[in-house]
Structure 1
Amino acid sequence: MLEPLPLGKGAIDEATKRIDVIGFLCPIPIAKTREALTVMDTGEVLEVWADDPETLHDMPILLQRINATLLSVETDAGEYRYLIKAGDAT
């Protein structure tokens, strides 16, 4: 599910990796996000696409626990796009 992004794709240039967890209910989107961030270097940006509204509550909690930074959340037609900066593993 974790895929590197090519450069030069417009709005997603700032993300270095992407996961798509559309169709999955929590806790799967949160678990997959944690899994992806653990293999990323500090400062890399993960783009996460989800459609479970529970992620709006759970994602910030996860990121605080693992020292990652939520850069932005966008919503469109029931889908959520998160941009997350990987932090130092603690």
Structure 2
Amino acid sequence: MKKINIMLNLIGLRCPEPIMIIRKNIRKIKKNETILVLSDDPSTKRDIPHFCNFMEHQLIECLTSIKPYRYLLKKGIY
């Protein structure tokens, strides 16, 4: 597994909180650093890939077959 710079436990939080917290924390890291997100909110299956695409970050890993869902994001240019 890749090096994780920040791990966010967002279990129990509901939309829009997970995206707001991810956005706040992704600003703190440098380009190409990573964030591991744990969530149990079904809307993150849609929201996190859209967020990454819109903000030009890379969704390296997305495991959503069982809870908690796990997302590994790599910071892009923003």
Query: Is TM-score (shorter-chain normalized) higher than 0.5?
Result: yes
Identity %: 29
| CA deviation after TM superposition for structure 1 residue 66, in Å | 1.2
1:46 aligned counterpart, secondary structure:
strand
2:40 is aligned to 51
**Structure with more relative contact order (C-alpha pairs < 8 Å, separation 6 or more):** 2
- Code of the residue aligned with 2:15 in structure 1: it is C
Q: What count of residue pairs does the alignment treat as equivalent?
A: 78
**What RMSD, in angstroms, separates the aligned Cα atoms of the two structures?**
1.4
Following superposition of structure 1 onto structure 2, how do residues 14-53 of structure 1 map, counting pairs within 5 Å?
14-53=3-42
> C-alpha separation between the residues in 2 aligned to 1:83 and 1:64?
14
Alpha-carbon displacement from aligned partner over 1:29-58 (angstroms, at most 9, x marks no partner): 011111111111000010000000100001
TM-score scaled to structure 2, two decimals?
0.90
Alpha-carbon displacement from aligned partner over 1:7-28 (angstroms, at most 9, x marks no partner): xxxx5x5211111110000110
Runs (4+) of structure 1 exceeding 6 A deviation are none
1:87 is aligned to 76
User: Could you list the runs of 5+ residues in structure 1 that have no partner in the other structure?
Assistant: 1-10
2:29 aligned counterpart, secondary structure:
coil
TM-score scaled to structure 1, two decimals?
0.79
User: Could you list the runs of 5+ residues in structure 2 that have no partner in the other structure?
Assistant: none
| CA deviation after TM superposition for structure 1 residue 76, in Å | 5.7
Pick from 39, 53, 72 the counterpart of residue 61 of structure 2: 72
